[in-house]
Amino acid sequence: MAMDGRKKRGKIRRLNENLDMLIGSVIVNYLKCGKNCVCNKGEKHRKYYLSTKEGGKTNNLYLPPDAVKEAEEMSRRYKKVKTILQEISRINYETLKERHLTKGR
Residue type, 33: C
The string of DSSP codes covering 34-45 is SSSSGGGGT-PE
- Residue pLDDT tens, the chain, 105 long: 566 788 899 999 999 999 999 999 999 999 888 778 888 888 888 999 999 999 999 999 999 999 999 999 999 999 999 999 999 999 999 989 988 886 655
Whose CA is closest to 3, among 76, 91, 83? 91
pLDDT at 9: 92
pTM, two decimals, is: 0.76
Half-sphere exposure (Cβ direction) of 103: Cα atoms closer than 13 Å:
6
